[in-house]
Structure formats: C-alpha cells, structure tokens
Structure 1
Amino acid sequence: MAYHANLPAPTFDLETWASNYEGPLLPLRLAHVATHCPPLSQQSLDLAITAAKRGKDVLLYNRLYEIAEKLGVSGLEQKDEEWMQRQEEGNKRELARLEGELRGYKNNLIRESIRMGQEDLAMHLLLTGGPLPDPQNPQSATGAGYNAAYQAFGKMRDYCTTPSHVASMTLRLIHTALLQAVATQQTGGAPHLHLNAALANANRLRSVGIKEEEMVRITPIMHVSGGLAHLGAGSYPEAAVAFLSTPFEYASQGVVQGTNATRAIASGNDVAIYGGLCALATMTRDTLNDTVLAGPFRAFLELEPHLRKAISLYTTAKYQACLDTLRRYYSDWSLDVFLGAQASPTAKESHLDRLILRIREKSITAYLSSFAQVSLASLASTFPPLSSDPQAMEDEILSMIEAGMLDARLDVVKGLVIAPQKEARKSAHAAAAAAAEEVERTLLLRLHRVNVTLAGLEIPKAKTGNWSGTGGEGMRLGNGGFP
C-alpha cells in the first residue's frame, strides 16, 4: 500500500470525533485530517482554527492558514490580525511576569515555590508554542517551539520534593514529547528523538516511588504513552504488548496529576484501534484468542466492534472477510495522527499501511499452509492484488518467498504456488533415531555414575551444621559463623 494524501470521507462525523479531544494536540489532529482528506479539508480547518483561537498559540493559528492556502481551501473566515497582535502582546507580558516571579522565588530559595513557578512557566510555553527560533542563530532552534516547554518542564526535577511531584513532571514531559513528535512530523522532520524521550519518561514512571493508589492511576498512562512511542518508531510487537497491558480504567479515569490523557493524548477508542491492529499484525492465532479476544483487552475492543470482528474473522481463518473489514475502515484509521503518519520521512507508506500489509502477508501464509499447491488465479480471487498490474499477485508472492516469510516455490509457467514436499516417513524415522540416541546417552551416563561410586571415586558432599574449632570452641554455621 502507498501513503495516501487523498482519502475519501470517513464513516465518522468530524465534529463528534473532534469533541473527544482537547489541548494543543487537537488542532494538529485536525490539520492532519485537512491534509489527507480533501472532502473534509474546509470543515476540519474551520474546527482547527476555532480550537487554536481558543488557545494562545499564535504561530499555530497562522500555520493553519498557511495549510489552507497550500491546499487551496477557500471560504474560511478572514484571518483575525487584531486577535493575533493582541494575543502575542499578552503572551509576552505573561512570559515576562512568570519569569520575574520565578527569579523572585529563586532568590527566596523556597523549593516548592520555585517548582510551581517553573511549572507555570513551562505550561505557558507549551500553550503558546514557545519562542520563535532566531534566523541568524541555527543553534537557537533547540530552545524554540515546544522544545522550550520540554526543557522548562525538565528543570522542575531539581525542585521536586516528593515522588508525586516527580510523577507529575514526568507526565508533563511525556505529553510534551508526543506533541513535539507530531509537530515535527507534520513539518517534514524526523520524530524519533522525541519518541525516544517519551518512551524513556514512560519507563521512568515505573520507579518514581509514589503510593500504590496513585500508581494504579498512572500505570495506564504509562502503557499508552509507551505504546504510542513504539508505534511511532515502527516497533509494532512492543507497541502491541504495551497497549494490551493497559487497564480498561484508562478510558474513564479523567484527570491524573493535572493531565487528562484520554482527551489530551489518546482516547479509549484509540487504544482499542492501536492495540487491536498491532496485535493482529504481530501475534499468532492462539495468542489473539487467549490474550486479545479472551483477555482484559476485550473490554477496549467492545468500543470498536468492527475491529473485534476483524480479529475474530482472522482467528477463524476467514481471511478475505477480515481484510475486507479492515479495508472498509482504512480511511477512518488513516486520519488518525499517529496511525496515519508516515512510517519514516523517506517512506511511501504510513504505519497503518505497514500494519495492514503485515496482516495480509500473515493471512496469505496461513491460507497457503493448508494446501499442497494453489493457483495464482485462485489466490488472487481470495486476496485481491494491491494494484491493477497483472503481475501484482506473482510479484507479491515472489517477494514474500525471497524475504523468507513464505516457504514455497513459485511455478511461473503453470501459475502455481507449490508448498515444499514433506516426507512424513523420513521425519518419523529421524525423530525415532534422535530419541534412541538420547536414551542411549542417558543410560551411559547412569552406568558411568555407578562405576564411579563402586570404585570409591565419588567426592562426598560438604556437610553443613556444627563443627568444632581448634581452640575447643564450637562454631555454628547456621548462625553465620558467630558463636
């Protein structure tokens, strides 16, 4: 599959979908929809501009109009220059006030006040998008934009006095790192540095030392954040494990340590889609039955019944129906800012494309395992080729064989995919011979042990307990060598 920039309209209502999210990531989600779905470009940009205007990020507001101009979208409301100027001046005044207060707190040497002042400054930088880089100084880019907010949150570490403070700071760092990754990817950059930072902070949550009742609420966010980082890096098996480990309480837990992850990062429906697709692409049929369909993750799948149905179809060997279901919701999932992102800056496919391609390859391999030979025409009718090229099915099977995913031969002349011949008689003889050799080896070892014992060559085991020292004082080993 190729990375699509012109998707058809999805099955969901855009306004209802957008109402599930809030925070700085919402306009970026809507910008992704506008870029990849022409039928919804104007509506999504309208919603994105409205959401941006409710916030403080003037740079993001201006960038949305640049996207509209690039896409040729007309009919948007006129850019509010007065609001931009007023908001920018207010942001500068607020930044100066917060920096002045922080200097005062540092002069007073009150750690808690410094921590809170640092957090207020970092939140301001996050909501305003941070300062602009200096065109004359390329090094200033590391401290501009969302990078400034991430660095400001990181400075809170020296002033945290309780494990709860450390946990709150770490959650802020995770949220900011994921926001950095999305913003970087949408501007054509590589997000891996920010994804690694999000993953490192998610792993750090395991050892912050907070109380058990607080850890119960933080654990779901830790798993979801780690899963998103693995997904963005293309580590789909690790992403599947992380999402499947997420307790269902995540879907309704609300605000935790000042962050509502279900609205700011990923909703419960998103977790169901991410986890279900990653599991379907990387796990065996037995694991899907035991861990996904019959495990705790099934509660998430109830939020997305069509994905649960697709997994059930795969486990019952109804591969064509499974792929048809995935294809039906392809547009919906491609409009997600994490699934629909390019797998790498140079890749021609998205993460969703790669996941569905893996599911397709698994399905073809499982289907062929039941036959000695299958014609390419029959295979093409069950698994429609990804392109209209007459050689598409043949090329796909050949690439799977060359990659080692399919143990078969391709007869191009007859148009057959032939499974390797397995001689059951020869395999049974080899297994019997191996078992006989193992039995003979075991008997020889036992006979050797008997001969060693009869010859008096066996070394006795060291005795444990009491023993007498040379000075007439008894020493008890059980007491660690002390009388």
Structure 2
Amino acid sequence: MAKDAADTPFFQKRKSEGHIVVRDPPKFDLESYISNYDGFTRADRLRHIGSHSTYLAVDAYRTAIAEAKRGKNVKLYCDLVEELAQIAPEDPAALTDTTWATEKTKKVEAEKDKLEHELKSYKNNMIKESIRMGNEDMGHFYYAAGEYSNAHKAYMRMREHCTSPKHLADMTLRLLLVSIAQKSWLTVQSHIAKLDSTQVKGDEKAKLEPIISACAGLAHMGAANYREAATAFINTSPAFLTAEPVAGITWQREVITGNDIAVYGGLCALASMDRSQLKDRVLDNNDFRNFLELEPHIRRAINLFCASKYSACLEVLENYRTDYLLDVYFSKDLSNIYGLIRRKSIVQYFIPFSCVTLDEMAAKFQTAGGDYATIEDELEAMINSGTLDARIDLVDRLLISPPTNPRYTVHADALAMAQSYDHTLRLRLTRLNMMAAGFEVRQDKGGPKEGGLKDNSFGEGISAGLRGIGSKMGFS
C-alpha cells in the first residue's frame, strides 16, 4: 500500500511543493497513538499523518473522516474526503456523504441563528453575566465548527463583561486554545503573558501553572526558540498528567500529552544544553522524570550523550525520526533540532583529539543524507560556519585541531594574573593610607536624600585625607 500511495498524484504534488513525504512505517500503532487525543487536535493530527505518511495515509484519513462526521465542521469533512479521493478513489470513505453534509449544514446554521438571537436578547436586557455567557456560547460554536477567527473574536468580546478574575482566566484560556489551533505562536505567547498576570490565587493559580508551562514550551518551539522551549517543558509540573479540566478543556488530551512533553522537552534540551545542564536540569529533575518515564528512549538518548556515546545517541534518535516527522507540531523543527544535536555531538567528540581520521569520523557519524553527501562536506560546512575549530587534510584524510602555543598561553595567563594582583595591592595600600590619615566615609542616615552635603566638614575631610595620603606616599 505504501508504494501505491507514494505514486498517487496527491503525494507527487506534495513532494513537488516541498512538503515532507514519509515512506517508512512508524513505530507507533495509529489506533493506540490517536486514542490519547480528543478535540480539534485529534482530527488535526490524523490529517497531518495522512497527508505525510504513504504507509498510514488511507487508515489515517478514514479515521479522520469518521471523527469529522461526529462534529460540526462540514468543511473539514469535505476537505478530508477530497484528499482521500486523490489517494484511494475506490475507497468507500472517499465518496462524499452529501445527505449528511446538507443536513449538518442546515443544523449548524440553525444553531448559529439561535445563538445569535439569544445573544441579541441578552444585550437588549443589559445583563452582563448573560451577555458574557452568550459570547462564550458563540465562541464554543465557532470553535467546534472550525471557524477559529470568529471564535477568537467571540471570546474577546467577553472581556468587558467579565466580573471576576476567574472569568478573565477562563476567557484567556479559551483564547489560548483557539490560538494554538491556529498555530499562531506569537498570539499564544501574548495570551500566556496575560494568563500569567491574572489575579487568581490559591488552587486556581496552581491549576494554571502546568498549563502555562506546557503551552509556553509549545509556543517557543513553534518560534524555534529551543532553549526557552526546553526550559518551559522541563519545568512543567507532573500534576499536568492528572489535572482536571480547566475552563472546560482537558489540556493533556486536547492540546499536548505527557508523552509529547517528554519528547519535545528532551529533544529541545539535547539541542540547546551542554552535558552538565542536561544532567542537572533534565536527568536529575525529579518532576521531569515523570514525563521521561513515558518515553524511555528519550532518557536513554540523553544518558548516552552525557556519557560521551554520541554515535549511539544519534542512532537512538534516528530510529524514531519517522515517528517525529508525523508529529503535527514537531515535524517542521525536526531537521533543525536533529542537526543541532548532531553538530554538537561532533564538536564534543573532537575536543580531546589533536587529529582524527576522516574514515573514523565517517564510521562514528554516518551521514543521514540530506544536505551532505559525505562526512567531509559536513565537516567543511561546520568549519566554514565557525561551529568546529579544525582543519581538514584531504591528502592524509585527517581532521586536525589547529596548533596552539602553550608557552604563549602560560605567559599571557601569568601576565594577566600579575596585573590583577598589582591592581588589588594598590587598592589595599590606598585603603590603608586613608585609614592611617584618619579619613573615613560613613553614610549619614539623616543627611540629604539626594546626595547633598549638610556642611563643609565632608569636603574638608576629603582635603585633609588627600593631603595625608600624599605626604605618606612621598608627594608634596
């Protein structure tokens, strides 16, 4: 099935447009994988898998179409059927159920008219709580129908009618959910900042903190800020795994699961942190350990990197490349993150050596294709970019560390140390001479607040002190 799907016009077109097309089967089972998700992300992930994997395309689209028929988003259903028809036109699910689409459209329009009429009557009655709830219902409706822009506007209209910090927090959480569905990461960061500054306290505040950390990590990763993303993910409380719904949203199922946090946090940390930071902030982090237990291969990869077993670490990650290419949030960043981890591994491996043969480097770091055909090309690119401080000897096929002058280094360090001691000694001698001259400056608590002098005694003291220092140091 994978070969047939790869040759269809749908995947040929996507490949020509520069989209990722995955031919290999992933390690996960589609049914088990997708059972961890609910809400918009379930259909979104199924569509992403179907449009990227030639192996799972038909199964993913079938499941996505069945999921769409349970909701209100008629446009999504029609788009999914159209895409499946380009992959498997003979499949029964590839035929549009026009009867269902027509009836569902009528029901959706009737529900919309009803909600708009109710909201209008609430506005006429001028009851703030009813208006707030009416806008909230409109937001829920638009969100379920896939009209995220209208949902965002409806939730925003709730702001002037919110009468408590909890109302504001719930409204911001809904705006945050819609922004994530739109993958508008700058807007997500803006709503996270507002959510963090809400006036809710106690248990309500404690419920928000894991959500803020997880969503902030997602936003930073979407903006390619991998270090900030890693920090946010590894600081997410394990309470997130069993948290109750907040603002009517089960965040660990409708947005990001604990497995996702382990994968995103672990790989972003590998790409942006050194070995000591990985050990202290990731492996020895008792809270993040709860997430790493869900994805043991991520923990194994980090352990291998910290143990300087770089080729084994990269091999573990390569085994799961297909899975991560099918992740709706991670696929576009995977090449960058894997590249950062690989380059960092090469640099760390080369540090202890003065020279290494290119054949040994090729054996340790097998090229995974992509931008570089051979290890020489990859090393050359790293040297030109300043990532790797080395030289390539193509005659003897060696990677050579540039020569250093240890004597010059020792002399420079000794000179710097002598200058530091000289500076420190002069400061101490000056202090001793000032004390011997009876010159001492103390803060006058009752003096002027803006640094003014109460009288001329302070200036006279400075003059006397300086004269004393001059005479003791042999100056007239």
Q: TM-score normalised by the shorter chain: which range applies?
A: 0.7 to 0.9
- AA paired with 1:34? G
SS of 1:394's equivalent in the other structure is helix
Partner of 1:186: none
User: Residue 209 in 1 paired to residue 199 in 2?
Assistant: yes
Equivalent residue runs for 1:155-234 within 5 Å:
155-181=157-183, 194-234=184-224
Q: Following TM superposition, by how much is the alpha carbon of 1:423 offset from its aligned partner in structure 2, in angstroms? A: 3.3
Aligned with 2:64 (options 29, 34, 48): 48
- AA paired with 2:142? L
Q: Distance in 1 between matches of 2:44 and 2:56?
A: 15
Partner of 1:39: 55
After superposition, the Cα gap between the structure-2 partners of 1:404 and 1:163, relative to the gap in structure 1 and judged at 3 Å, is same
Residue pair 2:367, 2:373 contacting (<8 A) in 1 also: no
User: Residue 328 in 1 paired to residue 319 in 2?
Assistant: yes
Residue pair 1:46, 1:76 contacting (<8 A) in 2 also: no
SS of 2:399's equivalent in the other structure is strand
- AA paired with 2:155? F
Q: Following TM superposition, by how much is the alpha carbon of 1:392 offset from its aligned partner in structure 2, in angstroms? A: 2.0
Q: Deviation per CA, 1:155-205, whole angstroms, max 9, x where unpaired?
A: 111111111111111111111111112xxxxxxxxxxxx110011111211
User: Residue 273 in 1 paired to residue 275 in 2?
Assistant: no
Q: Distance in 1 between matches of 2:198 and 2:379?
A: 49
Residue pair 2:192, 2:216 contacting (<8 A) in 1 also: yes
Structure number, greater radius of gyration: 2
Partner of 2:152: 150
Q: Distance in 1 between matches of 2:255 and 2:102?
A: 30
Partner of 2:465: none
Q: Distance in 1 between matches of 2:290 and 2:243?
A: 15
User: Residue 395 in 1 paired to residue 385 in 2?
Assistant: no
- AA paired with 1:317? S
Aligned with 1:408 (options 364, 384, 390): 390
Q: Distance in 1 between matches of 2:255 and 2:36?
A: 10
- AA paired with 1:175? L
Residue pair 1:42, 1:73 contacting (<8 A) in 2 also: no
User: Residue 297 in 1 paired to residue 292 in 2?
Assistant: no
After superposition, the Cα gap between the structure-2 partners of 1:392 and 1:46, relative to the gap in structure 1 and judged at 3 Å, is same
Partner of 1:68: 84
Aligned with 1:370 (options 311, 333, 352): 352
Equivalent residue runs for 1:84-95 within 5 Å:
84-95=101-112
User: Residue 461 in 1 paired to residue 451 in 2?
Assistant: no
Q: Deviation per CA, 1:60-118, whole angstroms, max 9, x where unpaired?
A: 00110122134345414232111111111111111111111111111111111111110
Residue pair 1:3, 1:353 contacting (<8 A) in 2 also: no
Q: Distance in 1 between matches of 2:191 and 2:447?
A: 53
Between stretches 199-208 and 389-398, larger displacement belongs to: 389-398
SS of 1:417's equivalent in the other structure is strand
Q: Following TM superposition, by how much is the alpha carbon of 1:364 offset from its aligned partner in structure 2, in angstroms? A: 0.5
After superposition, the Cα gap between the structure-2 partners of 1:292 and 1:446, relative to the gap in structure 1 and judged at 3 Å, is same
Q: Distance in 2 between matches of 1:269 and 1:218?
A: 20
Q: Deviation per CA, 1:217-251, whole angstroms, max 9, x where unpaired?
A: 11111111111111111111111111111001111
Between the two structures, name the one with larger relative contact order (CA 8 Å, sep ≥ 6). Answer: 1
After superposition, the Cα gap between the structure-2 partners of 1:466 and 1:25, relative to the gap in structure 1 and judged at 3 Å, is closer
Partner of 2:297: 306
SS of 2:56's equivalent in the other structure is helix
Q: Following TM superposition, by how much is the alpha carbon of 1:466 offset from its aligned partner in structure 2, in angstroms? A: 10
Give the structure-1-normalised TM-score. Answer: 0.85
- AA paired with 2:111? E
SS of 1:338's equivalent in the other structure is coil
Partner of 1:282: 272
After superposition, the Cα gap between the structure-2 partners of 1:374 and 1:129, relative to the gap in structure 1 and judged at 3 Å, is same
Q: Distance in 1 between matches of 2:26 and 2:171?
A: 37
Between stretches 82-91 and 67-76, larger displacement belongs to: 67-76
Give the structure-2-normalised TM-score. Answer: 0.86
Partner of 2:466: none
Q: Distance in 1 between matches of 2:372 and 2:229?
A: 36
Residue pair 1:411, 1:418 contacting (<8 A) in 2 also: yes
Aligned with 2:427 (options 445, 448, 471): 445
Q: Distance in 2 between matches of 1:398 and 1:98?
A: 63
Seq. identity, %: 40
- AA paired with 1:20? N
SS of 1:297's equivalent in the other structure is helix
